[in-house]
Amino acid sequence: MRITTRITVLAAASALALAGCAGSGSTEPTPAPTTETPAASETAEPAAPALETVTDGKLTIGTSDPAYEPWVVDNDPTNGKGYESAVAYAVAEQLGFAAADVEWVAASFDQIIAPGVKNYDFAINQVSITDERKANIAFSSSYYDATQAVVTIEGSAAVGVTDIAGLKPLKIGAMVGTTSAAVVEATVQPENAISLFNDNDQAKQALASGLVDVVVFDLPTALYVTAVELEGGTFIGQLPAGDNPDQFGLVLDLESPNVDAVTAAVDALRADGTLADLEAQWLTDTAGVPVLQ
């Protein structure tokens, strides 16, 4: 960002007039008026962090295609609608990028969590921060703390289940690569192997066709799916999070020099209430949702 310093140049006529006043009736020279140049800190806007981006002057963000509501509306992250799309643009603004300078690329969940150099500056795709993943990728601080939740449909063997014990004999589905399956293993300890699916659409189809009795999603997705996408969808409840809620972080290349700047941007959005406002706007109110015991 360039700072323009304004220097006032005295007109020649003004200088002569002042000199004439000094020469009549006074031996003391009249001090010439001076114009102080404001310090840079008084005139400049805060400078954006110097980021090393994959494209000069642009911020490239990765997310899955398809991207699902309530995280991205209409599978179009460029519209700024949906919680993750809105968060991405808010982070970009914090980093000094205008919306017009944000570019999106498609990256599957598996590609995002895989090791290797990325073709984006960060990705946003409900990726849970785990120690195992930190061996391959870098994370910002959490932009959303989630719990896992269980959904079913009318007529399923899961209808009427109200506790974890009732889930144990059921056929349970989850998306591959997510923490949903790990949480189910740890908290439910199911009698049957968990069925894993490549994306949410496959998981919903399996539930609708009776291949599984229930599917586990993060809580906002579970609420949206039961309310909008699943005919006869029924919400069973949340799985207990204990002392370690599932935290979603922005994903960066393991060697990215931008981790601190991106984390600072997320932290600023949390501190000033922006993340809370975006949650209220785009995510279903989760207050009062039962926790299965």
Q: Cα 172 to chain center, whole Å?
A: 28
pLDDT for the residue numbered 249: 98
**What is the average pLDDT across 180-201?**
92
pLDDT band at 287 (very low <50, low <70, confident <90, very high): low
| Helices and strands, counts by H and E, the chain | 10, 10
In the chain, where does DSSP find H-type helix? Answer: 12-23, 40-43, 83-94, 109-113, 164-167, 179-187, 200-208, 219-224, 259-271, 274-282
| pLDDT at position 8 over 80 | no
**What is the average pLDDT across 150-177?**
94
Write down all domains in the chain, each with its CATH number in brackets: 59-146+244-282 (3.40.190.10), 148-238 (3.40.190.10)
- Per the model's pLDDT, the better-predicted residue between 16 and 173 turns out to be 173
| pLDDT at position 7 over 70 | no
At 26, list the tokens: 């006074």
How confident is the model over 36-54, as pLDDT tens digits? Answer: 433 433 333 444 557 999 9
| pLDDT at position 114 over 60 | yes
**What is the average pLDDT across 79-92?**
98
| pLDDT at position 35 over 80 | no
| pLDDT at position 71 over 90 | yes
pLDDT for the residue numbered 49: 52
pTM equals 0.74
DSSP codes of every residue in 58-70: -EEEEE-SS--TT
pLDDT for the residue numbered 278: 97
pLDDT for the residue numbered 179: 84
Round the average pLDDT of the chain to a whole number and report it. 84
Cis peptide before 70 (omega within 30 of 0): yes
Point out the least confidently predicted range of 41-45, 79-83, 128-132, 196-200: 41-45
| pLDDT at position 26 over 60 | no
CB atoms within 10 A of CB 202: 17
**What is the average pLDDT across 204-231?**
93
| pLDDT at position 209 over 50 | yes
**What is the average pLDDT across 250-271?**
97
**Measured between alpha carbons, how far is residue 198 from residues 108, 174, 234 in Å?**
10, 9, 22
Point out the least confidently predicted range of 11-25, 81-95, 187-201: 11-25
**What is the average pLDDT across 98-120?**
96
pLDDT for the residue numbered 108: 93
**What is the average pLDDT across 9-23?**
35
Sign, CA dihedral 226-231-236-242, equals negative
- Report residue 166: phi and psi, to 5°: -70, -20
| pLDDT at position 3 over 70 | no
